[in-house]
Structure 1
Amino acid sequence: MTPHDLAAVTGSPIKAVLFDKDGTLLDFQKTWEPALRVAAEHAATGNPALARRLLAVGGMDPESGLVAADSLFAAASTAEIAEAFVATGSPFSVDVLTAALDRIFTAAVADAVVVTDLAAFFARLKARGLATGIASSDSEAAIRGLIARFGMEDLVDFVTGYDTGHGSKPEAGMLLAFAAAVGVAPQEVAMVGDSVHDMKMARAAGAGACYGVLTGAGTHASLTPEADGCLASILEVEALLLARAGV
């Protein structure tokens, strides 16, 4: 489906856009393969066989490094990943391992590979009057670290991670909190993400639109049944958002 086709989508004007982070604003594979390997090695306390099992449980092929669509690594919160690691044999408690994984994942911001110039992208949306937010299954600290690294402090209106207090995907809470924070109705919000969890959150909240992007672990096959459109990246979605915003 092309941007021209999708521009014909009707409904409430879009006044705000909520973005997923990993696989949407960041190239998932380039950013997360190294960090996820470090996380598995830490959780396995140096046991190579256990580290491989943990990667597989998370949804990564230990050989290729590819992460499966809608696997734990692609869509789950840090706490959910920690729970799965402990259930698979990691000797840490869930709380201790969650804190350690949060530190590893937050540090990964330093090597994050963005899909475009994020400051310029968000500035264009803001210039057209669109409110913006980021909702991630990562921690709030990791999101804010990304915002600081790329100079987006004045361009993002709302941030929520799994630990912020608005629930987790695919529940509706993150999107509803965003809508309330920026003063719009849920049907005036578009969700942009790379996972079925993102799309289901949008549907549960009554969002006006949800668009899937292919810069993450999601695929056409996984996203198309749930999304209003599935496009290459946020750059293709940008034209749709501005068309729906009527600006």
Structure 2
Amino acid sequence: MQIEALLFDKDGTLFDFGKTWNVWCAGVIRHFADGDADRGQAIAKAIGFDLATQTFLPSSLAIAGTNREVAEVIAAQLPNPDVDAVDSYIAHAAARAPLAEAVELAPYLTKLRDHGLKLGVMTNDTEMGARAHLTHTGVYDLFDLVLGSDSGHGAKPDPDPLLAFARHVGIAPERVAMVGDSTHDLIAGRAAGMPTVGVLTGMAGPETLAPYATVVLENIGEIPAWLGL
């Protein structure tokens, strides 16, 4: 298998999902609950978040869903639902979320580029959020293309945004590996004709990812050895 490019999911892949997003989600729920405990419980249940442990449930919509999908389920629990306002709030809050890198990203990505690999990000987060997170960690310029669910190519599990990346870098899909922590990532990769790499820095275990993955690794740090670099 000759891999010439790597396309990464963001949350749960480049960044450890739980360490990054549990605190963020608890804050979002507090904001929209506005002191109403019952409303807070309803929002948490709709998102798939355990308020007692302050962690996402493995089945949470937020793990692989788009910001818009999360906004819709939150808005449905509010007395005056305004999906656009909720969507805007969570997008800007997400751009300021605390970040826990899965590995030290700058030297890791530099090493991959030094081996001639093209690199990209495709996330179901907004493009604004992705750009903010990657810029904050000092790695945005190491990617050839960064796409969000609002970049005009759709969202995973559809393969279209993955194919858009392959076209952008001029590499056949079968030589682009899709790397992600959720079945959405891997299903999209397989539909695009790409090898798929599952990583365990999200909420899904190996038994969930394995049926859709060419290989399942502990984290992205194991990819160079898998490629024989």
Task: Tell me which interval the TM-score lies in, with the shorter structure as reference length.
Answer: over 0.9
Distance 1:70 1:171 in 2: 19
Structure 2: distance between partners of 1:87 and 1:222:
30
| Distance change >3 Å, CA 222–CA 230, structure 1 → 2 | same
Q: Distance in 2 between matches of 1:94 and 1:225?
A: 35
Which residue is equivalent to 1:141? 128
Shift of 1:41: 2.1
SS in 2 for 1:101: helix
Counterpart of 2:17 in structure 1 is 28
Deviates more, 1:48-57 or 1:17-26: 48-57
Q: Secondary structure at the match of 1:88?
A: coil
Counterpart selection for 1:168 from 143, 155, 161: 155
Q: What residue identity is the alignment partner of 1:193?
A: G
Q: How far is the alpha carbon of 1:238 from its aligned partner? A: 2.6
The Cα of 1:90 is off from its aligned counterpart by: 5.7
- Give the aligned partner of residue 221 of structure 1: 207
The answer to whether the aligner puts 1:178 opposite 2:168 as a matched pair is no
1:117-175 alpha-carbon deviations (Å, 9 max, x no partner):
10111101100000000111111111111221222133111101111111001001110
CA-CA distance at 1:34 after TM superposition: 1.0
| SS of equivalent residue, structure 2 residue 107 | helix
Does residue 167 of structure 2 align to residue 199 of structure 1? no
1:115 lines up with 2:65 in the alignment: no
Letter of the structure 1 residue corresponding to residue 25 of structure 2: L
* Secondary structure of 1:224's aligned partner: helix
SS across alignment from 1:225: helix
What letter corresponds to residue 77 of structure 2 in structure 1? T
| Offset at residue 105 of structure 1 (A) | 0.6
The residue aligned with 2:139 is 152
Identity %: 38
Displacement of 1:191: 0.7
Aligned length: 229
1:125 paired residue number: 112
Q: Distance in 1 between matches of 2:217 and 2:80?
A: 41
Query: Counterparts of 1:48 and 1:18 in 2: how far apart (Å)?
Result: 41
**Counterpart contact for 1:43–1:90, Cα < 8 Å:** no
Structure 1 stretch displaced more, 176-185 or 36-45 = 36-45
In 2, the alpha carbon distance for the partners of 1:159 and 1:152 equals: 11
Q: Please point out which of 27, 46, 52 is paired with 1:63.
A: 52
Match among 23, 37, 45 for residue 26 of structure 2? 37
Helix, strand or coil at the partner of 1:26: coil
Report the CA distance between 1:46 and its aligned residue. 3.2
TM-score (structure 1 length as normaliser): 0.88
> Which ranges in structure 2 are unaligned for 5 or more consecutive residues?
none
Q: Which moved more, 1:50-59 or 1:20-29?
A: 50-59
Distance 1:238 1:95 in 2: 41
* Alignment check: 8 A CA contact 1:194 1:217 kept: yes
